[in-house]
Structure 1
Amino acid sequence: MAILAFLLGLSIGLIGFWWYRSRSEARLKKVLLNFQNTLPAPSLTSSSQLTIAIAQQQKVQQQLHQQIKTYETVLENAPIGYLQVDDENRLIWCNHQAKILLGIQQEPCPAKPRLLLELVRSYELDDLIEKTRDAAKPRDSSWTFHPVSSDPSQLSEQQPRALQGYGIPLSNKQVGIFLENRQEAANLLQRYDRWASDLAHELKTPLTSIRLVAETLQVRLDSPLKEWVDRLINETVRLSTLVQDLLDLSRLQRDNLQDFDLKPVDLVLLIESVWSSLEPLARKKELHLDYRGPESLLLPLNEARIHRLLVNLLDNAIKYSPPHQPIQVEVSLQSLAEEGHLDHLNQADAPPPINHATDSNPEPPTCLCLDVIDFGPGFADKDLPYVFDRFYRADPSRARRRTEPDLSGTSSDGMAQSIGTQRFSTHRTTTEKAWSTDQNDGYSAADLPHQGGSGLGLAIVRQIVVSHGGRVTARNHPQTGGAWIQVRLPWTSTTALTK
């Protein structure tokens, strides 16, 4: 009886062992499937194969650890700063250059990370981190960082510095920030601006003297010599205008750091005033203004600066527009979402309709949009990033052949005009000279592309827009083929009136 019990127990044990071994073999084969690309010779047992595969994985893991250390060494000794924060904006790690740029005294502890704002008082940096995390795509920003230290002995070393930050979204809502010290470039730009301003001041007086002498000789010389004096006066006037533009640009940049007076200005009336002053130039080419927008728009602006902005934009549009074409000026109020859609407009798409501020608009306006569009040759793609740089002038032909726009279905004036347009239109008369390639009236299609200015007009426009807290962009209009200047100003007044 005991033998039977022993044999029964042995059988049960063997069955259990066999079942356990089968399960182990199945699990082992399942594990080996993950290493099928690195498995040794199949003639070995599963246990031997697993042992060799584990050894190989340990080797790979060591190599990965070595690569991580290499990357950490590269980041630590990189000439630009790098810092990394978690989902709660706590500093996880930063390299040596970031500590220097941000004035971080304490070594960040990965075990007990601290809030970044406790170590670095830079709300611009914190805002860049939040924008990068919310957008889930890279973001960049520029600002002037003012280091703060509790050590009185370091007060002389706490100089403000210009920084450029590049945010990169990481996993688990972490964010990495690359920091670049742009102070040297800012210093070079300041020295360049100061040199240009000083040079303009030095040239202003002798140019005025030369012009006075030339004008004195102009009335005393005979006709053959008088033509040379006329040319001298014209060139002197051109140089004087260039010098004055340099002085104005330097003044704008200097005053941009200070508060300037804002007062309620009717933007529509200001556009009308500027167009009236430029209308004689437009009449020579039979151009008219196609205004689209409200009849009245009162908002706080610096009237002198916005007047200069409109003069530069409309003068450029007149200069490069072919005859018998309108110059479009569109004014509207848009919400943040609509303004963002306009910024990302595809050149191949039709422009969005102008949305004026009405009670039916569910979102309050946050942006004043001013668009100036012409039918000229437009900008070359290679010139678009630089058109607002001082002294930059595009290729004389603007490098892009303009295709004639399709004006089918438009009014006899070329474009349909909305409220308030009629008082801006330049009415043609029978006494005005019609444009024709057969008539010698001082203009020709070949001469148009070669007209140009000093290369400071759009630079002054950008500086005026920046001084108002806005931004300006340039592109080519998808329908007209001409230049499309977009001015965006923040809507800061709740008392602005539209009619």
Structure 2
Amino acid sequence: MTILADLISRLPIRVRLSLAFAGVMIVLFGGLALLLHTRFVSSLDAGINRGLRTRAADLATLVRAREGRPLRPGTQLPESGGAFAQVLTPSGGIVDSTPGHGAKSLLTRDEVRRALNQRVLIARRENARVVAEPLAAPPAAVLVVGSSLSQRDRALRTLDEMLFIGGPILLVLTCVAGYALAAFALAPVERMRGRAARISGSGHGDRLPVPRAHDELYRLGDTLNQMLNRLEEAMDRERVFVANAGHELRTPLTILKLELEVTLTERLSHEDLERRLQSAAEEVDRLSKLAEDLLVIARADQGRLPVDKRPVEIEPVLRAVTDRIAGAARGESRLVRAESAGSLVVPADRDRLEQALTNMVTNALNHGNGPVLLTARERNGHVEMHVLDEGPGFAPEFLPRVFERFSRADPARSRGGAGLGLSIVRAIAEAHGGTAEAANRAEGGAVSVRART
């Protein structure tokens, strides 16, 4: 059974559907043939029995018309429609009969004795069916009427030939029609397969054809097309990500290469050599920072950004961020300060939280003006941390793309980092089950993160 199931499972779905259809048709046709044969036999037998009873009634009337005249051996009964008859004495002797049936009694003595008391039906006697009934005539006698079964047998043979010869032919035609119907029903799937085989990663907008009827195949094709849309969007983001990453990596590598070539080919003073090496070290730091940012983005895309959640007090985190950036801010004559967060506590990874706030403050220093303010408050079961500046805010056309990778408001890329800072802010917020938002205020721009308390 297992081998048969395995063999069937290897067959094409059209063949399996056709075999299933054929199996159902065999059962239905077999049952119908059996029912038809049974009903036909019953109908033929009922017709023969009805004819025999009618003939017996007619002959009984004829015999009763001879009342007062004793039955004499050797007389003949009239023929009618191929039926034959005899009138027998209680001992089995033939008194009357139709022509050609006066030589031998149609009944045995036991059957005659039974027929003297009641009607007796004998289904088959020498390819004939006979009915015997008592005849109320002096002296007592038995009337026997019979009919040949040859026509009945020929009709049954004809029916059997039609069923067992025409039936398989009809079954084969039905199976062929079932296979064609299955092929027609699966044609949309084949069209989808053909189109899918032609879709390549470089193509845009190629989609699977869907049938007009809103059925299961339509829903399948529509679902696959939606999946293709998501894959295409992901591939587009991947291409942009790789192109931007390559561009960001090329710039510091080019500078580093030039600095090293100059150092190796020119005779430099101690001060120039130290300056060149310092520039190379800065580019190495920039490459290291970019690699770390790319690693965070990649892990966030895979849902594997490591987050060690523990109860974290917000006040020390804000102070740590302001202390870390205070020196750089003073170099640009800027002020970074934090408002008191009181006793706010949030379950979070402190290192990741500081990283997100540091990126937010750095973004405000690079693109805003005036002092930078860090605030925190609790609202609706969440802790909100804001970084506010007094700059021009975000350009309206850039605001929807603030958290996208490598997005920068400055098209010339003349200032700031690689455009990954706020993308990392959003990745860290989402890893904590929170959100990141950007908005414009009357006084300047604002970036905030929200996390559950």
The structure with higher relative contact order (CA 8 Å, sep 6+) is 1
Structure with the higher helix share, 1 or 2: 2
Normalised TM-score (structure 2): 0.44
Normalised TM-score (structure 1): 0.40
Larger radius of gyration: 2
